[in-house]
Structure 1
């Protein structure tokens, strides 16, 4: 008798339906699994065989063949264990075959028949809903993730004997209750901008960066406060909307980072060390997993000591910064990881870190400084909307008035984001930084006064700016206007906004040696 069940496979942060067909017939006893299975599924043969022997029902020795379709798609998740076991049970006649109609099964079997959570539950639950399945059966330990997806019944199962009893009508497993959790995170735990005195220009650049979704590079001597500023970004970011929260939670779910409190609502802040590998930063591996760039999707990726990162890592940032995704192409698969990030980077001006500090003397040679700064390719620098020098604060700045708190800055950022949301509501973009360069859209959405237009053209001629750089200044100026409550939401960009946007994008030239 041939029985059929359904499960899922993972490919990046997407899923695909796997059809499991089991045939039990006379012949030499054994269990064979076919369908381009990986090592995890090859091992599933032993897990399933042991679990079936302890299911509480007699399994006669037969020739058993299990096929996983589509055969051309590689499968590498142990979450298929439960579907394989149920297909074999139906083939042996121990459970009604029609009891699994409209059901997707997901879970890893232990040798004693208990069910363990499998990686990627949120992806599988979303797949089941989109593919029209009525019911999702999975391990009880995964139910908190699965119930976050509406429109599908979730049945939590502790062990294989309990599921058999339910399918045979001998007992009942209740449908898991839908949770309405809206975890916002605790902003009070984030470091406050009020802790930092001075650094007025970098503080302003951070505010503009977050308000408009821009990329920012902080340049200055070691110990001046670049990293301290970056660590306070978490307290300024707006909460993710429903679609963004689902995408971020799916990415973190397949990367072994479950969120038991619900969908991830706080934008992620990722700070990888400069020794990170290319695969660790951009993603890949076998099976493919998202890297730090994708884990920062809808959030901020902070790269401290940017020149110290591998050149291949820095070069690989071009596509995510431009397209908002990472393309992983290998011999056996091709997939895309979402990676719409804001890049916040920091770098010293020389290898010793003293260049630009008025109280220290740089001991690096001019050639060493040139090599150090040359480790950051121009193609990445060109994609930075803001390039801001950070200098040690003066005594007057340190003794000045109390600096603004994160709450005060956050209020302005939220107001600017709301202005952008209203302006871009009929477009596929959600922030000023996403408006494409070189088209009619940027002319309509970032309108300038005649004086501002003339000033921008003068800057382009004086600094030999490319069209990409001109449009970046224009978008930053739009964000500066959005942060100004005296400017109407659809008001034109004035000359002061253009001047400030140009000031906050200083070219990376070697600073004079102290």
Structure 2
């Protein structure tokens, strides 16, 4: 048989489209041609495959070899095509039976000795193979990725010789015979407890509301008041990921080349990029598109400390992903989509000198220009903006007042989230306008009260809906069936930035 077809998987963001490797042997001067939009790293496979086959003891056909990677319009990159190309040549030259390749996919890079090497970002390929119920042959070093998915039709090869013996029916290959037990266990408890934070009771309450409804939170306050400390406690309030959510997160981290530690599999990601980060590092991209910080924070928390120090154009890149829950990276060859449904927590000083009241060395004009680094549409994406003030005198020296632990607050957060998911199937921050109107239970008088408040504060229609979502979360924490005016009043109280901007405008 002078032609053979081998199935494999490409890497296209967090997707793994199927690729057919077609190998044809024909008469003519010996040549090895590779077509199908391969990039430089794939073209180098010709030399790796030739040496691997010879050093593994196989005969390399001295004929005209044409390898086509179909579909031709899909860009191919990386060394993952080495193994399927080598298997295709062996099948086309009748050194292994072609019928052993049916419903089987091969992914792996080859060493010159014939060893099958580790490949980065194979988790999406394993998930896709499981979806189609195909047998999958992977490098032995990728066993950990397969254990995450728990797919029973995965086999692991360490060398071309052992793989060929398996396809000839002469010897078995190591198979995935167990599913990791820790995927069903609870995530480890955080070392950071909310009770470590002294005072700041309003900020703690706002943190609980943000955790319960998955709301975006902006904290304003002078240096040293506990903003970063509060943000680090958020992870202890959030419930563990479900298995499906954890696979989504793991697939993104796999594509980014990050290790997935067993003890962190069900733990929500927490990303805290530095304020010197570029838009590409934050949103994603590059010559070979990779997920950015907002995608690595998918299903978790993105914390922007000193948010006013970030370049304005970088922050404005977050606006669309915050609304859609995904980021689309367009290139001439392809368009990639990365999931980015994250919760944004940001912290900043209210003025360039740090404090807005005592010891403020900045003029109102300087403060306004400092705050103007955050565009109005970006600020509009925050559901809660709170003030984290300095502690009153004597707070640090007086006897410690017992404070709730993270575990106690997390129980209320979990209960409120369960109420939201049972009612609408999504958390309150994701409610559409139609769902919000259906589930808020606000009376006409309460809506008029809210509209008047929004007009007085000069807020947008988006803020009008966000305040309702926060009020709905407050009601869920209290296990109240309908949103009441007191819930709206409390939600309106979490608009510290609007009050600060109004105060500054009055000083002119």
Q: TM-score scaled to structure 1, two decimals? A: 0.93
Give the Cα separation in 1 of the matches to 2:442 and 2:328. Answer: 36
> Secondary structure, in 3 states, of the residue corresponding to 2:239?
coil
Residue 229 of structure 1 and its aligned partner are, at CA, apart by: 0.7
> Secondary structure, in 3 states, of the residue corresponding to 1:124?
helix
> Secondary structure, in 3 states, of the residue corresponding to 1:395?
coil
1:506 to 1:352, Cα distance in 2 relative to 1, 3 A: closer
Q: Pick which of 217-226 and 458-467 moved more.
A: 458-467
Give the Cα separation in 1 of the matches to 2:188 and 2:177. Answer: 29
1:260 to 1:82, Cα distance in 2 relative to 1, 3 A: farther
The match for 1:495 is 485
Encode CA deviations 1:272-314: one digit per residue, 9 max, x unaligned.
1111111110011122111000111111100011111122210
Match of 2:472 among 478, 494, 503: 478
Give the Cα separation in 1 of the matches to 2:302 and 2:136. Answer: 35
Preserved contact between residue 216 and residue 345 of structure 1 (Cα < 8 Å): yes
| 1:206 equivalent in alignment to 2:225 | no
Q: Pick which of 381-390 and 140-149 moved more.
A: 140-149
Q: Pick which of 399-408 and 55-64 moved more.
A: 55-64
Alignment of 1:71-82 (within 5 A): 71-82=72-83
Give the Cα separation in 1 of the matches to 2:129 and 2:436. Answer: 40
1:60 to 1:151, Cα distance in 2 relative to 1, 3 A: closer
Preserved contact between residue 144 and residue 262 of structure 1 (Cα < 8 Å): no
Residue 175 of structure 1 and its aligned partner are, at CA, apart by: 2.6
Give the Cα separation in 2 of the matches to 1:393 and 1:482. Answer: 30
Give the Cα separation in 2 of the matches to 1:285 and 1:84. Answer: 28
Q: Which of the two has greater helix per residue?
A: 2
Give the Cα separation in 1 of the matches to 2:186 and 2:250. Answer: 14
Give the Cα separation in 1 of the matches to 2:61 and 2:15. Answer: 38
Give the Cα separation in 2 of the matches to 1:310 and 1:332. Answer: 29
The match for 2:379 is 381
Give the Cα separation in 1 of the matches to 2:5 and 2:311. Answer: 49
Match of 1:465 among 459, 466, 490: 459
| 1:506 equivalent in alignment to 2:496 | yes
Give the Cα separation in 1 of the matches to 2:187 and 2:168. Answer: 47
Q: Pick which of 242-251 and 1-10 moved more.
A: 242-251
Give the Cα separation in 1 of the matches to 2:484 and 2:340. Answer: 33
Give unpaired runs (5+ residues) of structure 2.
none
The match for 1:367 is 365
Give unpaired runs (5+ residues) of structure 1.
none
The match for 2:324 is 323
> Secondary structure, in 3 states, of the residue corresponding to 2:80?
helix
Give the Cα separation in 2 of the matches to 1:263 and 1:166. Answer: 35
Give the Cα separation in 2 of the matches to 1:110 and 1:116. Answer: 7
Q: TM-score scaled to structure 2, two decimals? A: 0.94
Give the Cα separation in 2 of the matches to 1:436 and 1:313. Answer: 27
| 1:31 equivalent in alignment to 2:29 | no
Encode CA deviations 1:386-406: one digit per residue, 9 max, x unaligned.
011110111354435122111
Preserved contact between residue 12 and residue 337 of structure 1 (Cα < 8 Å): yes
Residue 148 of structure 1 and its aligned partner are, at CA, apart by: 3.4
Give the paired residue count.
499
Q: Pick which of 54-63 and 240-249 moved more.
A: 54-63
Alignment of 1:240-259 (within 5 A): 240-259=241-260
Residue 243 of structure 1 and its aligned partner are, at CA, apart by: 2.1
1:28 to 1:352, Cα distance in 2 relative to 1, 3 A: farther
Alignment of 1:248-287 (within 5 A): 248-261=249-262, 264-287=265-288
Give the Cα separation in 2 of the matches to 1:449 and 1:412. Answer: 26
| 1:432 equivalent in alignment to 2:428 | yes
Give the Cα separation in 1 of the matches to 2:410 and 2:264. Answer: 22
